[in-house]
Chains A and B, each alone.
Chain A
Amino acid sequence: MNSPILVLVLAGGKSERLHALGRVRTSSALPFGGKYRVIDFTLSNCAHSGLFRVGILTQYAPLSLQHHIGIGKPWDLDRRDGGVRLLPPYVRQRETNWYRGTADALIQNRNVIEDAQARHILVLSGDLIYKMDYGRLVERHETAGAALTIVTTAVPESEPERYGYVATDGDGRVISLEEKPALPSGETISAGIYLFRSRNLQAWLEKPGLGPDLVRDVVQPMILNGDRVVAYELADYWRDVGTIDAYYEANMELLRPVPTLTLHDPDWLIYTPSEDRAPAVITGEGDVSGSLVAHGTHVEGTVRRSILFPGVHVAPGALVEDSIVMHDARILSGARLSRAIVDKGVRIGERAVVGTGDAIPNREFPRDLASGLCVIGKGSEIPAGGSIGRNTLVEIGVREVDLAAGAAPSGVVVRAKGVVR
């Protein structure tokens, strides 16, 4: 029997505000929590909720994501009926276009929606971190007889202006959804989880001249039009990791003595493709505390309050503090890292210091790099004895020649010469 629900995961976006981290991959494929990608949370929610018909809409830098999803095996999505399908934009006989927005992506996949003959369409974002049983959402949606159910959550403390505010009447019916208001008001925001009754969504997608954005051009008009749009509250943990600060904080929260999001719940494990790495080795000189450590790591130095992804090597005498270090990065002996986000394959030379000096905001991106973090882009190499300041952005593939005297002061952006940005 076909599942009555078709899940469509929006995973094609480019997160400008993640800079080097978000340029090599779409934000859904961002490494998170020591062994996961952000989209694992959404896909694991689907698996735990018994939803096994999933389409993933891709567009920006999809290769990393495509490789990660494969045939969907880790989420039990390799199925005869249903399963996972990647839905990239493609060339057509008439009008060919990239997805111009979230609604446009759905319009271009109208045939997928029609063929599914599903009762409801669950539209999710691949770049959010939360655990949720969608089954209960579906139940509520059906009993309410809703055309659309918008999942809501409490507004996060930082950057409240990034979200869409939902106002409801006393019966839980949505009166308005205001996107990124200049002056945010209210406590309840849209969690980026939309459950449409299929025929209602299809009717909207068929409207001629429909705009490209799902919220502005479908959801808000539905509310204005008087369609039955209701709210469903997600009271638990929910994070949008679309900025460097939010990404860093969400990772660091996992290290708290009692984490706000537990990865250890045996009834709600987060699934991801496993790598064939050896167990983590901590040597006699190694010292690790307050940290998450993945398989394939080799720690000979000191690691405090940090997250080490598979294959990271911390050499003797190196010190890693309050940092996120992604796959196969090498921290050579005597190097020191403080509040750094180090992308895959980075090499930090002997005695190099990363994250030092005054925390003056980044000159080019003061909004995105002001809290004292520094970012080292994928595959970059910091030479021995080098020094990288705070709020410093070292772009992808930077080499010794790109760093004057091996150093970059606080608040600058270092780019690889000859590399098109």
Chain B
Amino acid sequence: MSHVSYAMILAGGLGSRLCLLSEKRAKPAVPFGGKYRIIDFTLSNCVNSGIFDIGILTQYRPLSLRDHIGIGRAWDLDRKRGGVELLQPFQGWAESDWYRGTADAIWQNWDRVVERKAEHLLVLSGDHVYRMDYRPMIEAHLQRGADATVAITEVALDQASQFGVVRTDAAGWITGFLEKPKNPPAGKISMGVYIFRTAALREEMELDAMRATSHDFGKNIVPSLVQRGRVLAFPAYGYWQDIGTLDSYYRANLDLLSPEPPFPLQDLRWPIFTPSTEYPPARLGTRAHVRSSIVTHGTIVNGTVERSVLFPGVVVEEGAVVRDSIVMGESWIGPRAELDRCILDKRVHVGRGARIGVGEALRPNRGCPEHLSAGITIVGKASRVPGGLVIGRNVRVAPDLVEEDFPREAVEAGEVLEREGESAHAGSAS
């Protein structure tokens, strides 16, 4: 029996690099893979690893996440002992404030750890898509008597600079930890999965709280622990994808469609749990052509769908073509409309004959050039694209636009469409 039974999941951050998708919801609540939210993977890993006592730290736009988690029933986390608890910042009699960083979020909820008399603490991130049994890692952590254990994986050297890069010695102890280095020395990176000996973490937290740092696990706590204590690396070789950018989000979704998916969602021994919707089975009409795609309950397809992911309740009308796209819940693709390399948020309405994702990716998006340059066009929640309109690549369409908000002529590559004089940050989440 392991001594690690409490997990805290960091789910509070603003995912600015996910562009529109996380504008109205926390990143862990972003829809993924046809019926999931990103946090489902971490939560399912927990319960499949026998961990049923979980605190989720939320701060940025938590409503969508809160609705999704509910009382935790989908994960069997509606329990008398343990279960799941959402820990948002609150005002109290002691020093309390907005969370200043991931470490501060846990520090402000340290009572939770103390109450449990937890000797060790599992700290996870809510915005990774991966499948991992935490038990072997827990075993290694306990056996080697580590102050902390960090799960590591390997990525291509050119991508390593987005992560915490790890250097280890022959015995597997971490000798160096660099968060997002400019010139990474190697491709071994932290997966954001940590086990801490509670006493060691507490000491580190106390020190950190007094310093003017970012109060961040990757930037401050772990590097400092590496200096002062014994931090073990635990190599985990399964599929792991950080959903940090729009590109990685798009790629991770499309990974599910490859002939040999790196991540078998269908594996009944390691189910990914999520609250289910009440829709009927997918209905593929007599003129439907669906290939290399994921379809979910409540979808109705009468057109052509290739290499795409359709979320519940999506309707693809006759003659419409959806190619290399991700279409979220309850969106409607009108007759003869065409989508190519698009991400549509929920309840988008694409009018008859409209074409989105047309032409060359001539220039990156004006608004967020660093995140929208690979040719993907993204349409925000509940916007209504007028019939017949042509929209180029790398375009960002704000949420909640109505037909009148769109220009009459074709929208060129790299444009940003939003209602004049209105902040894109208004509105409610779901």
Q: Chain A residues in contact with chain B, CB under 8 A?
A: 33-35, 74, 257, 263-264, 269-271, 274-284, 286-296, 298, 305, 307-308
A258 to chain B, nearest CB (A): 11
Q: Is the CB of B280 within 8 A of A35?
A: yes
Chain A contacts for B296, CB-based, 8 A: 279-280, 295
- Best-surrounded residue of A34, A291, A296, A298 (most CB of chain B within 10 A): A291
Chain A contacts for B61, CB-based, 8 A: none
Chain A contacts for B281, CB-based, 8 A: 33-35, 263, 292-295, 307-308
The stretch from B4-12, B138-146, B266-274 touching chain A is B266-274
Q: Is the CB of A282 within 8 A of B292?
A: yes
A12 to chain B, nearest CB (A): 27
Q: Is the CB of B298 within 8 A of A281?
A: no
B150 to chain A, nearest CB (A): 30
Cβ of B63 under 8 Å from chain A: no
Q: Is the CB of B283 within 8 A of A294?
A: no
Q: Is the CB of B280 within 8 A of A263?
A: yes
Contact of B271 among A35, A271, A276, A288 (CB under 8 A): A276
Contact of B292 among A279, A283, A294 (CB under 8 A): A283
Residues B257-303 near A (CB distance < 8 A) = 257, 259, 265-266, 271-274, 276-298, 300
Q: Chain B residues in contact with chain A, CB under 8 A?
A: 33-35, 74, 256-257, 259, 265-266, 271-274, 276-298, 300, 309
Contact of B272 among A278, A280, A287 (CB under 8 A): A278
CA gap between A35 and B38 in the complex, in Å: 25
Q: Is the CB of B259 within 8 A of A288?
A: no
Chain A contacts for B284, CB-based, 8 A: 288-293
Given contacts A293-B281, A296-B266, A298-B266, contact A279 B286 (CB under 8 A): no
Query: Which secondary structure dominates where chain B touches chain A?
Result: loop
Q: Which residue of A lies closest to B283 (CB)?
A: A292
CA gap between A264 and B301 in the complex, in Å: 13
Task: Give 5 nearest A-B pairs by CB, closest first.
Answer: A274-B276, A34-B281, A263-B280, A278-B265, A279-B34
List 8 additional A-B contacts (Cβ < 8 Å) besides A33-B281, A288-B288, A292-B280. A34-B281, A74-B278, A274-B277, A276-B271, A284-B292, A293-B284, A293-B295, A295-B281
Q: Is the CB of A290 within 8 A of B282?
A: no
CA gap between A283 and B293 in the complex, in Å: 6
B127 to chain A, nearest CB (A): 20
- Best-surrounded residue of B274, B279, B309 (most CB of chain A within 10 A): B279
A-B contact pairs, 18 of them (CB 8 A): A33-B281, A263-B280, A276-B74, A276-B272, A278-B35, A280-B282, A281-B257, A281-B294, A282-B290, A284-B292, A286-B292, A288-B288, A289-B289, A292-B281, A294-B297, A295-B281, A295-B296, A295-B297
B333 to chain A, nearest CB (A): 16
CA gap between A271 and B277 in the complex, in Å: 10
Chain B contacts for A296, CB-based, 8 A: 266
CA gap between A282 and B287 in the complex, in Å: 16
B135 to chain A, nearest CB (A): 21
Q: Is the CB of A279 within 8 A of B279?
A: no
- Best-surrounded residue of A279, A288, A305 (most CB of chain B within 10 A): A279
A30 to chain B, nearest CB (A): 16
Q: Is the CB of A284 within 8 A of B290?
A: no
B234 to chain A, nearest CB (A): 27
Chain B contacts for A277, CB-based, 8 A: 266, 271
Given contacts A33-B280, A283-B259, contact A289 B265 (CB under 8 A): no
Q: Which residue of B lies closest to A279 (CB)?
A: B34
B414 to chain A, nearest CB (A): 32
Q: Which residue of A lies closest to B34 (CB)?
A: A279
Chain A contacts for B286, CB-based, 8 A: 257, 289-290, 305
- Best-surrounded residue of B33, B271, B278 (most CB of chain A within 10 A): B278
Chain A contacts for B265, CB-based, 8 A: 278-279
Chain B contacts for A305, CB-based, 8 A: 286
Chain A contacts for B273, CB-based, 8 A: 276
Chain A contacts for B274, CB-based, 8 A: 276
Q: Is the CB of B278 within 8 A of A280?
A: no
CA gap between A295 and B289 in the complex, in Å: 18
Chain A contacts for B288, CB-based, 8 A: 288-290
CA gap between A281 and B257 in the complex, in Å: 8
A255 to chain B, nearest CB (A): 8
CA gap between A277 and B296 in the complex, in Å: 10
- Best-surrounded residue of B74, B265, B266, B280 (most CB of chain A within 10 A): B280
Q: Is the CB of A279 within 8 A of B33?
A: yes
Q: Is the CB of B280 within 8 A of A280?
A: no
Chain B contacts for A286, CB-based, 8 A: 290-292
Q: Which residue of B lies closest to A309 (CB)?
A: B281
Q: Which residue of A lies closest to B257 (CB)?
A: A281
Chain A contacts for B279, CB-based, 8 A: 264, 269
Q: Is the CB of B278 within 8 A of A257?
A: no
Q: Is the CB of A284 within 8 A of B259?
A: yes
Q: Is the CB of B289 within 8 A of A292?
A: no
Q: Is the CB of A290 within 8 A of B285?
A: yes
Q: Is the CB of B295 within 8 A of A264?
A: no
Q: Is the CB of B291 within 8 A of A287?
A: yes
CA gap between A44 and B289 in the complex, in Å: 32
Chain B contacts for A291, CB-based, 8 A: 283-284
Chain B contacts for A283, CB-based, 8 A: 259, 291-292
A200 to chain B, nearest CB (A): 37
Q: Is the CB of A278 within 8 A of B266?
A: yes
Chain A contacts for B34, CB-based, 8 A: 278-279
CA gap between A295 and B296 in the complex, in Å: 6
Chain B contacts for A270, CB-based, 8 A: 278, 280
Chain B contacts for A279, CB-based, 8 A: 33-35, 265, 294-296, 309
Q: Is the CB of B278 within 8 A of A292?
A: no
Q: Is the CB of A34 within 8 A of B280?
A: yes
Chain A contacts for B282, CB-based, 8 A: 280, 292-294
Q: Is the CB of A288 within 8 A of B283?
A: no
Q: Is the CB of B35 within 8 A of A257?
A: no
CA gap between A269 and B33 in the complex, in Å: 24
Q: Is the CB of B283 within 8 A of A264?
A: yes
Q: Is the CB of A287 within 8 A of B289?
A: yes
CA gap between A270 and B296 in the complex, in Å: 16
CA gap between A290 and B293 in the complex, in Å: 17
A47 to chain B, nearest CB (A): 11
A331 to chain B, nearest CB (A): 16
Contact of A271 among B278, B289, B291, B295 (CB under 8 A): B278
B79 to chain A, nearest CB (A): 16
Q: Which residue of B lies closest to A285 (CB)?
A: B291
Q: Which residue of B lies closest to A35 (CB)?
A: B281
Q: Which residue of A lies closest to B297 (CB)?
A: A295
CA gap between A369 and B290 in the complex, in Å: 34
Q: Which residue of A lies closest to B330 (CB)?
A: A266
Q: Which residue of A lies closest to B288 (CB)?
A: A289
CA gap between A271 and B280 in the complex, in Å: 9
CA gap between A294 and B35 in the complex, in Å: 13
Chain B contacts for A293, CB-based, 8 A: 281-284, 295
Given contacts A276-B271, A296-B266, contact A289 B285 (CB under 8 A): yes
Chain A contacts for B290, CB-based, 8 A: 282, 286-288
CA gap between A308 and B283 in the complex, in Å: 11
A277 to chain B, nearest CB (A): 7
